[in-house]
Structure 1
């Protein structure tokens, strides 16, 4: 993927930006909560080695995104573009997680 597929998106609540290698620790601080992954098929992503793989894959894909609180700049989650099909003008977004403190709030309505 090219960087044109990863614009920085800013709104009143969040800022979504291309994932960088130095985002790992802040993202893991969110992702290490086992309850985030409890209902997910890959329910072990809170474990350091498993999350490292997820993070590295997101970074290598060129589609990894870091989600920050717009006011504080705090990392609150991540998502990823994947399955880019230019001929069909189609792309998927997933691999999304959000800090539990943001669940059921204005962040994900």
Structure 2
């Protein structure tokens, strides 16, 4: 598999529920408005992302990660964002993360729909998708387990200058 075949940010991934388009700088204000709910971030290691300053730090990171703006296919309302990152051709893997969706879209078919679009696309190019979830982010841990991913590792990442424990989950391509 050559990296040239894997476009990390196709123009559009969509199904009947969700539409993912490339995130651009011009989307900052609308995405911040969607992200400005403290409850979205309460289990995230960077709990300040609901503030303009905290979200700007997050946005500056994700804009370098081939991010998608996730839209509700029916209403075009912003649902959140997600990215492909850490492509590893030797391991035939890619990460899916830097994800959030607004509370309006919690608990329904939305997260699974968004992730399925990304996983189906990724599995055309790699054999394994990885998810990195904060050790205290129980909601996201449950969500990746629901997708069928398995916990394979415990890692430490630096978040806002502090070491934070994370879990690594893997979902393998079905043969």
TM-score (norm 1): 0.89
Aligned pair partner of 2:90 in 87, 91, 96: 87
CA offset digits 1:8-49 (Å, max 9, x no partner): 111101001111111111111111100000111111111111
| Aligned residue in 2 for 1:17 | 21
TM-score (norm 2): 0.57
Q: Which residue of 1 aligns with 2:139?
A: none
Gaps of 5+ in 1: none
Q: What does 1:1-109 align with in structure 2 at a 5 Å threshold? A: 4-7=7-10, 8-61=12-65, 63-109=66-112
The runs of at least 4 consecutive aligned structure 1 residues that moved more than 2 Å come to: 86-89
**Larger relative helix fraction:** 1
Q: Which has the higher contact order (CA 8 A, sep 6+)?
A: 1
The structure having more radius of gyration, on CA atoms, is 2
What number of residue pairs does the alignment pair up?
108
- RMSD of the alignment, in Å? 1.8
Could you tell me which runs of 5 or more consecutive residues in structure 2 were left unpaired when the two chains were aligned: 113-175
